[in-house]
C-alpha cells in the first residue's frame, strides 16, 4: 500500500458530509489538497467547504464511479459504509482506511473478536442472535448488562439495559430484534480514548490520552490530560497501535476504553473502535501543532505523519441540540474556541458544534474547571 505521496492540488474524496467531513475538508485545504464530498443529504455541512460535491446515495454505483474518477484517494467520515460501496471505490483508487478497518468496526461482534484474538481485554460479552439467545446470555453474564446492536449503533442508540435473564427478551425487542452483543457493565473509574494515526508504511503516532464524559449516551466533554497514571496512558496508546496494526489501518482511529481502578492499580478494557477521526479528538485542533483531521488527511495522502505533541491542557465540550443557542455568549468568552458546524436544524441530541477551552500545561494533574479559560 505504500506509494508516492499525493502532491498538493490532488483531490481527496470524502464519503459523508457531516461535521467530521467538514473538519477533514478544512484540514485538507490547509495543506493545498482539494476535497470532493459525497453525501446523500443536499444540506450536508461539509459541502460548504469542499471544492466539489456529489449528492447521491451511497449505493449509487454510477455516481460512485464518477466520484472515483475525480479523486486521487478516498476516505470516510463514518464506518457504516456498505461493503459494496467500498468494493466499487477500492477497485478504482486507494481507499483509506481499507475494507478491513470498515468491516470490523461496523460490527460490534467483530470488534470484540478482534480484541479477543489480540489478547486485548474487553468487558465480558456474548453474541446474541435472537430473543432466546438474549435470555441465555443474560443468564450467563454478570448483571447488570447492556445489549447493543452489532451494527449502526451510535450516540447511545441501539442499546438497552438488561438486569437479568427475565428482562432480556424485552431488551431484545427494544433494540428492534437486531443481532447484537450482550456486554457486562463494568464499574469503571473513568472513560478514556486514544486518537491514533497509522500510515500506509506502518508508522504510528498517538495523541495524549483523553478523558471523556458522556450524558445520555452522547459525548459531553473530553479533557486532556486524562487523570490516569502514566503507565496506564502508555498501555492505552500501545493497545491502539496493536489494533491499528492488526487492521492494517491507514488514517486516524479512535479507541474508547474503560479505566478500572482498584487502589493504585489501573487496568483498561476496550469498549469501541472507530476507524476514523473521532469526537474525542476535537481538542487537537487548538492544543496540538497538527489536529487529528490533519493527521488523517496526511495518512490518506501518503504524507509524513505530523507531530502529535500537545502544547496545552484542553477541555472540549460538545454543543448538543439547543446548547448551540448560546453561541453569542460563547463567542464573547475570551479564549474559548467556538466551532459551529453549520447545521440548519437543531434537533435534540444533534451535535451542533463544540467549544474548546485551553488551560495551563504546567501541572498536568491539576483539574480544569468549567469556567477556566484563556489562562494558558
Q: Which is nearer to its own copies, 12 or 104 (CB)?
A: 12
Least separation, in Å, of the C-beta of 48 and its own copies?
4
What does the chain come to in residues? 376
154 is in an annotated binding site: yes
Beta-bridge partners for 36: 13, 52
What does the block give as the cell for 166? 427475565
Whether the Cβ atoms of residue 189 and residue 259 lie closer than 8 Å to each other: yes
271 is in an annotated binding site: yes
- Binding positions for its own copies, rule: CB under 8 A: 5, 7-9, 22, 25-26, 29-35, 47-51, 286, 289-290, 298, 303-304, 306-307, 309, 311-312, 324, 327-328, 331-332, 334-342, 344, 353, 358, 374, 376
184 is in an annotated binding site: yes
Least separation, in Å, of the C-beta of 286 and its own copies?
7
Whether the Cβ atoms of residue 94 and residue 299 lie closer than 8 Å to each other: no
Q: Within a 10 A sphere around the Cβ of 245, how many other Cβ atoms?
A: 13
19 is in an annotated binding site: no
Q: Which is nearer to its own copies, 11 or 212 (CB)?
A: 11
Whether the Cβ atoms of residue 318 and residue 354 lie closer than 8 Å to each other: yes
272 is in an annotated binding site: yes
106 is in an annotated binding site: no
Packing angle of the helix pair 292-301, 19-30 (nearest 10 deg): 70
Q: Which is nearer to its own copies, 195 or 285 (CB)?
A: 285
108 is in an annotated binding site: yes
Least separation, in Å, of the C-beta of 312 and its own copies?
7
Q: Report the alpha-carbon angle 156-59-103, nearest 5.
A: 50
Residue tagged 461539509 (cell numbers): 46
- Residue 294: in which H helix or E strand, if any? helix 292-301
DSSP per position, 234-280: HHHHHHHHHHHHHHT--EEEEEEEEEEEETTEEEEEEEEEESS--GG
Least separation, in Å, of the C-beta of 51 and its own copies?
4
CA 200: distance to chain centroid? Answer: 19
156 is in an annotated binding site: yes
197 is in an annotated binding site: no
Least separation, in Å, of the C-beta of 340 and its own copies?
3
Whether the Cβ atoms of residue 280 and residue 257 lie closer than 8 Å to each other: no
351 is in an annotated binding site: no
Q: Within a 10 A sphere around the Cβ of 69, how many other Cβ atoms?
A: 9
Q: Which is nearer to its own copies, 171 or 301 (CB)?
A: 301
Q: Which is nearer to its own copies, 25 or 260 (CB)?
A: 25
Q: Which is nearer to its own copies, 12 or 274 (CB)?
A: 12
Least separation, in Å, of the C-beta of 214 and its own copies?
24
Q: Which is nearer to its own copies, 22 or 135 (CB)?
A: 22
Q: Which is nearer to its own copies, 25 or 320 (CB)?
A: 25
Whether the Cβ atoms of residue 186 and residue 260 lie closer than 8 Å to each other: yes
Residue in 27, 14, 13, 18 with CA at minimum distance from that of residue 341: 18
Least separation, in Å, of the C-beta of 237 and its own copies?
18
Secondary structure class of 41 (helix, strand, coil) = coil
DSSP per position, 51-74: SEEE---TT-HHHHHHHHHT-SEE
Least separation, in Å, of the C-beta of 53 and its own copies?
10
**Known binding positions for ATP:** 108, 148, 153-159, 183-186, 191, 214, 271-272
**Known binding positions:** 108, 148, 153-159, 183-186, 191, 214, 271-272
Amino acid at each position: 500500500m505504500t506509494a508516492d505521496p499525493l502532491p498538493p492540488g490532488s483531490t481527496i474524496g470524502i464519503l459523508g458530509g457531516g461535521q467530521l467531513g467538514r473538519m477533514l475538508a478544512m484540514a485538507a485545504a490547509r495543506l493545498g489538497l482539494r476535497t470532493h464530498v459525497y453525501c446523500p443529504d443536499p444540506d450536508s455541512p461539509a459541502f460548504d467547504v469542499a471544492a466539489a460535491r456529489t449528492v447521491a446515495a451511497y449505493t449509487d454505483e454510477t455516481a460512485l464511479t464518477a466520484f472515483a474518477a475525480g479523486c486521487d484517494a478516498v476516505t470516510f467520515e463514518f464506518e457504516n459504509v456498505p461493503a459494496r460501496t467500498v468494493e466499487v471505490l477500492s477497485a478504482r483508487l486507494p481507499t483509506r482506511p481499507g475494507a478491513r478497518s470498515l468491516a470490523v468496526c461496523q460490527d460490534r461482534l467483530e470488534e470484540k473478536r478482534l480484541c479477543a484474538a489480540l489478547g486485548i481485554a474487553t468487558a465480558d460479552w456474548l453474541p446474541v442472535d435472537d430473543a432466546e439467545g438474549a435470555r441465555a446470555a443474560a443468564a450467563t453474564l454478570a448483571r447488570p448488562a447492556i445489549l447493543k446492536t452489532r451494527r449502526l449503533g451510535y450516540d447511545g442508540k441501539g442499546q438497552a439495559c438488561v438486569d437479568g435473564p427475565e428482562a432480556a427478551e424485552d431488551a431484545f425487542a427494544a433494540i428492534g430484534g437486531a443481532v447484537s452483543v450482550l456486554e457486562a457493565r463494568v464499574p469503571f473509574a473513568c472513560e478514556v480514548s486514544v486518537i491514533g494515526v497509522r500510515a500506509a508504511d506502518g508508522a504510528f503516532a498517538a495523541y495524549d490520552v483523553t478523558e471523556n464524559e458522556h450524558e445520555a449516551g452522547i459525548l459531553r466533554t473530553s479533557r486532556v490530560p486524562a487523570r490516569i497514571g502514566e503507565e496506564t496512558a502508555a498501555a492505552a496508546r500501545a493497545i491502539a497501535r496493536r489494533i491499528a496494526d492488526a487492521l492494517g489501518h491507514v488514517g486516524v482511529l479512535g479507541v474508547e476504553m474503560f479505566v478500572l481502578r482498584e487502589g493504585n492499580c489501573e487496568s483498561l478494557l476496550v469498549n469501541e473502535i472507530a476507524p476514523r477521526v473521532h469526537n474525542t479528538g476535537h481538542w487537537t485542533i487548538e492544543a496540538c501543532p497538527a489536529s487529528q483531521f490533519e493527521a488523517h488527511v496526511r495518512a490518506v495522502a501518503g504524507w509524513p505523519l505530523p507531530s502529535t505533541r500537545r502544547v496545552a491542557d484542553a477541555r472540549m465540550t460538545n454543543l448538543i441540540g439547543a446548547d448551540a443557542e448560546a453561541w453569542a455568549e460563547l463567542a464573547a468568552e475570551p479564549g474559548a474556541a467556538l466551532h459551529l458546524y453549520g447545521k440548519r436544524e437543531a434537533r435534540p441530541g444533534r451535535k451542533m458544534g463544540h467549544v474548546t477551552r485551553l488551560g495551563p500545561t504546567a501541572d498536568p494533574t491539576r483539574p480544569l474547571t468549567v469556567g477556566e479559560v484563556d489562562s494558558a
